[in-house]
Chain A
């Protein structure tokens, strides 16, 4: 609970229309896409770093949590105020400050919706590649904080690869600039990379300098159908071996296909699995690559292969692809949504292993995702009202993580740890690495006021940066 003094101070800093303590508004800032809500005590809408510096200083002296929030579409609980406190909503800091066509750089406020930035730079023939499925609603600030990925990662990398520099308010209230707006820069520690993917626990991003690319001349979108998920996985590996680097290489299993077709109604054919493949670049190269992809797919068990005829078909396919995650609830009321990554060549092994786990625990597992970079969204479906099934789902997840790590992978490619994966952190990192990370957190946020209760499991609260909010 915030004292009246703090409330009055928040009103003074942000102005009446930019602060709310009303339950009818706090309820809307309690959740993200994990649907595990916790009410904050206040929500504020900052307009710049100075206000944020003031609130962070006050949070340190008065001892209340501050939680940065973009659009609240994360899959790991990163923006949920699990210990109450003040939500900093960036919904009103959404200006594109600069698009520098000479140096291929954009400077934006954190609340800019990723899609809006992409549309804006495309008008100048430029390209901001990171494309998380939430891109039409999620924000650049949230994308940076979580290091969002997306289908294009196979060719273009992820958000981290496009962040040149940041303006950040440190948890103790100092406003700093990290990084550069040039192609190179090695002065001092790389604080930019430290901030990217730090899940809003190390600093509040208030401005970002982003790298842009020239917009590819042409993109060809293709669809290959297979009888079996394993065939599709093998074809994926074969495409990579053929030295083609598609801009998208997505795999979708039959459960996902069925659910999303019910929603999107785009005429997805019935099959055991599909690959959604795109190649982009200059026209001639694209034509050659598309031919190569078709050949590899057909040689590797594709039962059908099509090329999208026009923009509407492409739009439909992407609408369907991006809606898979949410549409899976048509199959079961609850799901555990994981985003494991394995080395690309091990995808067929992963697919086989998941099939075994699904049978062993009698749970429905829907798999889809970025086969091209080894990042598969494994959705363990269950009904929480069925206790046995819920337990089976949880056990299956642990086994999937063990398999992933055994194959040389990681338990989260792009969603982050947040609250959703904290209990599995040690499986991948080990205690020493976790301790090292906590030292960084403690150095920057000695009182633990910034987005507490995330990443590091509560069990080790003795050594956590702050016990203030552990309850």
Chain B
């Protein structure tokens, strides 16, 4: 990853035309120049020239951003805004240190849920009933009162009673011999599926098998590093990347599949980027990265998957493009193809399906109010689409969409595209 001082030319490439004002979700909500990508680039520019320091206000404007990349995709001059913002965050963390709560989380996400963090989370799983109550719709937990980082009435997903990587069938699948001729797939669950949505992981394994592949789940996998990267904690992110590289190299799989858009982006792009400082590691990371596929990409392009099993009544489904899948991996048609071949859904596009859900870039943690104001736009677009189901391809987006739809009274159910199969 390029450090801020190496991004001088990139910063200078911004000519302040302002095109990004019309694409940025934070600008849409806050409406002011300081919340626009052009404004943020100007601030990073001023910081890098020593005109301003690492002040609270500078950091606030830097963090009021989902790193969704819409500005980068729409920049006429091709400025890599995301690289600039990420490097600026990393610089701030390097100089000021990682916030305590985040540092505890990242320290523990470096293991695969088997260590202290795993024990802590498992205990938390048992105790969560004291702090939260089930939501009426049964889609998550409502906090009973304000907690650190969690406001009262906020919908959060419950911690799984048994984590995905601890499920007996998953532990048994830690290294399967491939039957002759069948493609070998290693499944990378990521934290969302491991801690919060193990059912989605199990479903992913079923679908991959049904599509004609052998599947294994490497037990030593750890967080993909994207949350740490977004916060600017590159040291933690790099350690995670190295652990994943070593674990995934051992699998001997033809493909490494994930059902998480963010993890896919993390493994395909962030891991080799973080490890590019060592030539030997770089080549190894690129080799592993070249095997990574989003599950929709795997099913459509690699396994030639044709049809889902259920042939029920057709439901109206709209699709939300995760930033880390559409913009970051250029996978827009594949998840829609999954909806179309599911046999029980009619795809109806919402307005601006690639608008960020508001979760990304640590915004849900840094500025929950802004995060929800962005989710409100998404929720309204989903409501206006008339869809019964909003399908997407990222556990992170699913959590945010559930919270947003619940908050703004939109009845559509949130599903991962493969849950339609």
Binding site for B on A (CB under 8 A): 22-25, 27-35, 37, 45, 71-73, 89, 91-92, 94, 113, 115, 134, 136-138, 260, 262-263, 323-327, 329-330, 333
Q: Is the CB of B13 within 8 A of A28?
A: no
Known: A24-B55, A24-B57, A263-B76. A31 touches B21 (CB 8 A): no
Q: Is the CB of A23 within 8 A of B51?
A: yes
Q: How far is the CB of B257 from chain A (nearest CB, A)?
A: 28
Q: Which of B18, B43, B51 contacts A137 (CB 8 A)?
A: B18
Q: Measured between alpha carbons, how far is A30 from B42 in the docked complex, in Å?
A: 10
Q: Is the CB of A137 within 8 A of B21?
A: yes
Binding site for A on B (CB under 8 A): 12-13, 15-19, 21-22, 31-34, 36, 38-39, 42-43, 46, 51-52, 55, 57-58, 61, 75-78
Q: Is the CB of A28 within 8 A of B33?
A: yes
Q: A28-B33, A33-B18 are in contact. List 12 more A-B contacts (CB 8 A).
A: A23-B52, A24-B34, A25-B57, A28-B36, A34-B16, A89-B32, A91-B32, A91-B33, A92-B31, A263-B76, A325-B17, A327-B76
Q: Which of A25, A29, A33, A330 contacts B78 (CB 8 A)?
A: A330
Q: Is the CB of A35 within 8 A of B76?
A: no
Residues of A contacting B76 with CB < 8 Å? 260, 263, 323-327
Q: How far is the CB of A28 from chain B (nearest CB, A)?
A: 4
Residues of B contacting A34 with CB < 8 Å? 16
22 contacts between A and B (CB under 8 A): A23-B51, A23-B52, A24-B34, A24-B55, A24-B61, A25-B57, A27-B46, A28-B33, A28-B38, A28-B39, A45-B32, A91-B32, A113-B22, A136-B19, A137-B21, A263-B75, A263-B78, A324-B76, A326-B17, A329-B13, A330-B77, A330-B78
Total cross-chain contacts (CB, 8 A): 94
Q: Measured between alpha carbons, how far is A32 from B38 in the docked complex, in Å?
A: 10
Q: Is the CB of B22 within 8 A of A115?
A: yes
Which residue of chain A has the shortest Cβ distance to B39 in the bound complex?
A: A28
Q: Which of B15, B21, B36, B43 contacts A24 (CB 8 A)?
A: B43
Q: Which of B18, B42, B55 contacts A134 (CB 8 A)?
A: B18
Q: Measured between alpha carbons, how far is A136 from B31 in the docked complex, in Å?
A: 13
Which residue of chain A has the shortest Cβ distance to B20 in the bound complex?
A: A137
Known: A28-B43, A71-B18, A137-B22. A326 touches B34 (CB 8 A): no
Which 5 residue pairs of A and B lie closest in terms of their CB atoms, listed nearest first? A326-B76, A136-B22, A28-B39, A323-B76, A137-B21
Residues of A contacting B78 with CB < 8 Å? 262-263, 330
Q: Is the CB of B16 within 8 A of A33?
A: yes
Residues of B contacting A28 with CB < 8 Å? 32-34, 36, 38-39, 42-43
Residues of B contacting A327 with CB < 8 Å? 76-77
Q: Measured between alpha carbons, how far is A72 from B36 in the docked complex, in Å?
A: 12
Q: Measured between alpha carbons, how far is A449 from B52 in the docked complex, in Å?
A: 29
Residues of B contacting A113 with CB < 8 Å? 22
Q: Is the CB of B18 within 8 A of A73?
A: yes
Q: How far is the CB of B408 from chain A (nearest CB, A)?
A: 21
